[in-house]
Amino acid sequence: MKNCDHKNLKKGTVTKKFLDHTFKSEAQICKDCGAELWDNKLNAKFQSWLNDLDVENQKQYKVSKTTDILMKELGSQFHCTDESKLVRSIIAVLNKKLSNPTYNNIFNEILDSEDFKRLKQEPLTLTKKVRITNPKSLYDIENWKEILDLNDSEFIRTYIVLILVINKQVNNEFAKFWNSYIKDDLEMVLAA
């Protein structure tokens, strides 16, 4: 595949599907390779469209007893008794962090850690639900699920276990990452 410099442009329509909704807008499209050129104006229009959607989606997920206990402990650290709010906050914070390549190495270390593997392999005995009402969060969840090739339950459980592993570490890189990049953000999202 050759590189294209996108100089041969035409006006066209871009379409993005999200749940049962479809975004359509006029945009520049490369005649040579068919690429849709999303500029700041088109991105802003899409974000506005997302924010105006009236969507609500309930996601179901399963966790182990240990994960459930650790989630309750995490909630108490932040004085949060609403587990659904805690899960939504975890998703929001991790979506932001995972979008930043700066953190790739630390996330790979966490995913390779024995604690992460052990928690992920425990029997899933409890079924939980989380209600997501923010269209932007839902859109991010759908994108990350596709990128990571996970279903709803696996996606949510993976995020929860990531946070729990980071939170439970002391005197290592994970603890520094928690204290420097996760804790305050999670606190701020929970307070909103």
> For every one of its 192 residues, what pLDDT tens digit does the chain have, with 9 covering 90 and above?
468 888 898 999 999 887 778 899 999 999 989 889 888 899 889 888 877 777 667 788 899 999 999 999 999 999 998 998 999 999 989 988 888 889 888 888 888 999 999 999 999 998 988 888 777 788 888 888 888 898 988 999 999 999 999 888 755 888 888 988 899 999 999 988
Would you state the pLDDT for residue 175? 86
Would you state the pLDDT for residue 46? 87
User: For residues 47, 101, 114 and 163, what is the CA-based torsion angle, rounded to 10 degrees?
Assistant: -40
Would you state the pLDDT for residue 2? 65
**Stated pTM of the model:** 0.73
Exposed/middle/buried for residue 130 (C-beta within 10 Å: 0-12, 13-18, 19+): buried
- List phi, psi (to 5°) of 170: -130, 150
Closest by Cα among 103, 89, 100, 101 to 163: 89
Beta carbons of 68 and 83 less than 8 angstroms apart: no
Would you state the pLDDT for residue 160? 93
Beta carbons of 67 and 161 less than 8 angstroms apart: yes
> 13: how many CB neighbours lie within 10 A of its CB?
10
Would you state the pLDDT for residue 184? 92
